[in-house]
Amino acid sequence: QVHIVQSGAEVKKPGASVKVSCKATGYTFKNFGIHWVRQAPGQRLEWMGWINAGNRNTKSAESFQDRLTISSDTSTTTAYMELRTLRSEDTAVYYCARSWVGLPIDYWGQGTLVTVSS
């Protein structure tokens, strides 16, 4: 049974960094990829990036290119999303989610609220 559990809520000051973890169980981690999607209050879902857990290749939306790092650790079946130089507009719920290569998301984590406030 696929299970994806994310780390807890974070409160950060502008200019700081945040790192959210995503622990996946119930399947062969390296055979799939992990996406990161965020949702600001009252806004649409926004795709941020993706990592192939097998070869660790990543793709990121250009709007995050310089601030976003996505990584994974097959030994702990955990993916990570680090966003740097936070600003108030980065306040959102951040989701990680699984997909097979070339297919869309099928399982989602529960979400992690990141609040950026001075």
Which residues would be at the binding site for another protein (CB under 8 A)? 35, 37, 44-47, 50, 59, 61-62, 95, 97, 99, 102-111
Q: Which is nearer to another protein, 13 or 42 (CB)?
A: 42
Nearer to another protein, 72 or 112 (CB): 112
Q: How far is the CB of 90 from another protein (least distance, A)?
A: 17
Comparing CB distances to another protein, the nearer of 35 and 80 is: 35
Strand partners, 21: 80
Nearest alpha carbon to residue 4 among 29, 39, 40, 31: 29
Which residues on adjacent β-strands are paired with residue 79? 22, 72
Q: How many Cβ atoms are within 10 Å of 30's Cβ, its own excluded?
A: 14
In the complex with another protein, the residue whose CB is nearer, 14 or 106, is 106
Q: State the minimum distance, in angstroms, from the CB of residue 60 to another protein.
A: 8
Residues 6+ apart with CB under 8 A from 75: none
- 64 and 81 in contact (C-beta within 8 Å)? no
Quote the least distance from Cβ 85 to another protein, whole Å.
20
